[in-house]
Chains A and B, each alone.
Chain A
Amino acid sequence: MESVKKPRVRIVGEEKVRLKKSFVKPWLGIKYLFKKPVTIKIPFERIEPAPKYRGFHTLDWKKCIGCNFCGQICPARAIEMTWIEVDGKIEKRPHPKVDYGRCTFCQFCVDVCPTGALGHVENCYLTTSGLEEDLELYDWVPIDPKKVQELNEKFGDYRFPVERITFNKETKETTYYLRDGTEFRFKIIGYGLKPPAAARPKPAAKPAQKSAESSKKDESSKTEEKKG
């Protein structure tokens, strides 16, 4: 577009812009009193989110190669790589864990994913009551897109597909209670890019950190030490 010559500026005179002062005209707005309102009654009516609305993430665990591109591009540092053990088998690569307390829903992580493992669905209801268990709920390793689709077809209200997440401190086992009643169990055995089995014990977390996340991490790092 650089080569195009600058167009002549056409200036509009005053006569075209100036309007007429009127005392009667504003009353014409009354005609809208008899028209259907544009507001929607929320519990009874609903707007569907647009297709490909940027909502919660999904992750195909088989495709994920743990390259940490998503963690690098994330503007809010919401993504942390997590080492996971399912049914006694450690996954070969770390998987991203998304913290919706930080996520800005820009979905750059989905764009950069080289294998297309990370995706997103239209589910967008993110409300908490501020309780500790709610805050833990919105910090998850995304689950398989097929499962989320299935739940969406069943409920169709675009809510978070998991109802409750529990973490057993003794067995380090995380359980996702999905909305249709099924349970999904795995163990989180470490964080970061380096595998926990490589005997690289993390430095002990500072005593100042008291929140659930750090305590969880303490637990995991201790397990590493035991294993190593």
Chain B
Amino acid sequence: MADLEVPKELREEAKGHDMYLHPIDKNTYELFFGPQHMATENFSVILKMDGNRIEKAIVNPGFLHRGFEKLAEGRPYFTNIALLLRICVPESDVPENIYSMAVDEIVGWEVPDRAQWIRTTVLEMARMSAWMFWILGFGNEIGLYTAGQWAAAYRERFMRLFEELTGGRVYHIYTVPGGVRRDIPGDKWLRQLRDTVEYLKGKLKDFDEILFDNYITIERTEGVGVMDKKFALRHAVTGPNLRAVGVPYDVRKDDPYYFYPELDFEVPVLKEGDSLARVLVRRYEMEQDLYILEQLLDMGPPSGPYMVQDPRLKALPRFKPPKGDAYAHVESTKGDFGAYVVSDGTHKPYRVHVRGPSQSHGVTVLEELLKGARLADVPVILKTLDNCPPDIDR
């Protein structure tokens, strides 16, 4: 696009515009969407616009590349937790857990029940706070700022709970290979968690009123960014986006880990595959996550150690797992989040490869869905796909 010859008078005309546009033809121009736009978070889409319609979209990631996978190759096993969790900001427990699960599998550790219970709870809490973060973003994109402000306030409750459990608010650095780093602070914390769950159950009705039942939400999202089942599977779309096209694939059900086989929850599936279906699937999953947390609290944490007993853990910086490799994945709010870890028997991993869900639905799928959409639909499509650029860049 860049090497197209632009007539001189069009170039002069472009200077008169408010935004700096690259006119290609009389009605066609190139628009750089992002990385400052809030919907794109930290990546940009180059749009070739025909009036208000998008002719072609090119995803331009890379603003967040920090080379975590390469950096992880130079650091001891446990240390990498403090590094890899930065891949997913809203739910930083997911990268911790996939990496820990993969290392557990390489070493052959049987994680104690208590640690598994805590990990399940932490993952569900992370999911819940990530949903709140998503409401904040989505509400802002379609102009319903009130819902976003509420969601930010409710997310604060989970952050407080995380602070007491793990000692950190956003980056918890809590799940490590072999278990978790701290025990539950006490029954008071469990009571607080139950209170929060009860509180949020009531608040979901408020979100229904103001956001999900809202005339504006439905009008803005219905029929926007439609994909079908075959397209979604061939593009490896996962998570709520896949469930919105009618495939009941959920890692918690299909490849169960931790306490999920013992929990009873439903998988919401819709057929339309448009933005509204994706929104509604997410809405229903929030309810299910609260229900899961309630079940976990009813079950209560099993007694026992919260970390495996292994003499090798005494010299943590020089901890050496055996040779091997493992793939582990969990269900995050964005989709199937996986990590592939290769160990060559030294105290540093030979290769860590993280598979973020946005790698599949953030590049090729986005480019396809944006074709023919209007400019105002771009934030809606981006937010209903729940695109997370750090997954792509890492």
Q: Are A and B close enough to touch in the complex, i.e. CB under 8 Å?
A: yes
Residue ranges of A at the interface with B (Cβ–Cβ < 8 Å): 1, 4-7, 9-12, 14, 16-23, 25-26, 28-29, 32, 38-39, 49-54, 69, 72-76, 104-108, 111-112, 114
Chain B CB within 10 Å — which of A1, A10, A23 has the most? A1
Q: Quick check: A107 and B167 within 8 Å, CB to CB?
A: yes
Closest to B207 in A: A29
Nearest CB of B to A142, in Å? 17
Q: Quick check: A25 and B210 within 8 Å, CB to CB?
A: yes
Complex interface: chain B residues within 8 A of A21 (CB): 213, 215, 218
Report Cα–Cα, A114/B257, bound state, in Å: 33
Report Cα–Cα, A7/B216, bound state, in Å: 38
Selected from A4, A18, A20, the residue in CB contact (under 8 A) with B261 is A4
Q: Quick check: A52 and B167 within 8 Å, CB to CB?
A: yes
Q: Give me 16 other A-B pairs in contact (C-beta within 8 A), A7-B253, A11-B266, A25-B208 excluded.
A: A1-B116, A1-B257, A10-B265, A17-B268, A17-B280, A17-B283, A19-B212, A21-B215, A22-B209, A25-B210, A38-B153, A50-B167, A52-B182, A54-B173, A75-B83, A105-B168
Complex interface: chain A residues within 8 A of B317 (CB): 69, 72-73, 112
- B328 contacts the other chain (Cβ, under 8 Å)? no
Report Cα–Cα, A4/B113, bound state, in Å: 14
Report Cα–Cα, A26/B145, bound state, in Å: 12
30 contacts between A and B (CB under 8 A): A1-B256, A1-B259, A1-B261, A4-B262, A7-B256, A7-B264, A10-B265, A12-B267, A17-B281, A19-B212, A20-B213, A22-B213, A25-B209, A25-B213, A26-B213, A26-B214, A28-B206, A28-B209, A50-B164, A51-B164, A51-B185, A53-B163, A54-B173, A73-B79, A73-B317, A75-B79, A76-B82, A105-B168, A108-B79, A112-B317
Report Cα–Cα, A73/B83, bound state, in Å: 12
Nearest CB of B to A78, in Å? 11
Complex interface: chain A residues within 8 A of B316 (CB): 69, 73, 108, 111-112
Q: Quick check: B215 and A23 within 8 Å, CB to CB?
A: yes
- B35 contacts the other chain (Cβ, under 8 Å)? no
Selected from A4, A22, A28, the residue in CB contact (under 8 A) with B215 is A22
8 tightest A-B contacts by CB?
A72-B317, A106-B82, A4-B261, A54-B167, A50-B164, A50-B163, A75-B82, A75-B79
Nearest CB of B to A183, in Å? 32
Report Cα–Cα, A22/B270, bound state, in Å: 21
Complex interface: chain A residues within 8 A of B212 (CB): 19
- B146 contacts the other chain (Cβ, under 8 Å)? yes
Nearest CB of A to B254, in Å? 7
Selected from B171, B215, B266, the residue in CB contact (under 8 A) with A26 is B215
Residue ranges of B at the interface with A (Cβ–Cβ < 8 Å): 75-76, 78-83, 116, 144, 146, 150, 153, 156, 160, 163-164, 167-168, 171, 173, 181-182, 185, 206, 208-216, 218, 248, 250, 253-254, 256-262, 264-271, 280-281, 283-284, 314-318
Nearest CB of A to B280, in Å? 5
Q: Quick check: B160 and A50 within 8 Å, CB to CB?
A: yes
Nearest CB of A to B387, in Å? 22
Report Cα–Cα, A5/B256, bound state, in Å: 9
Report Cα–Cα, A85/B267, bound state, in Å: 64
Complex interface: chain A residues within 8 A of B173 (CB): 54, 106-108
Chain B CB within 10 Å — which of A6, A51, A72 has the most? A72
Complex interface: chain A residues within 8 A of B206 (CB): 28-29, 32
Q: Quick check: A5 and B261 within 8 Å, CB to CB?
A: yes
Report Cα–Cα, A38/B116, bound state, in Å: 34
Closest to A8 in B: B253
Complex interface: chain B residues within 8 A of A51 (CB): 164, 185
Complex interface: chain A residues within 8 A of B156 (CB): 38
Question: Given contacts A17-B270, A17-B280, A73-B78, are A54 and B181 in contact (CB under 8 A)?
Answer: no
Complex interface: chain B residues within 8 A of A105 (CB): 168
Nearest CB of A to B129, in Å? 15
Q: Quick check: A11 and B267 within 8 Å, CB to CB?
A: yes
Report Cα–Cα, A101/B269, bound state, in Å: 47
Report Cα–Cα, A50/B166, bound state, in Å: 10
Complex interface: chain A residues within 8 A of B146 (CB): 29
Q: Quick check: B284 and A17 within 8 Å, CB to CB?
A: yes
Q: Quick check: B209 and A26 within 8 Å, CB to CB?
A: yes
Complex interface: chain B residues within 8 A of A50 (CB): 160, 163-164, 167
Complex interface: chain A residues within 8 A of B168 (CB): 53-54, 105
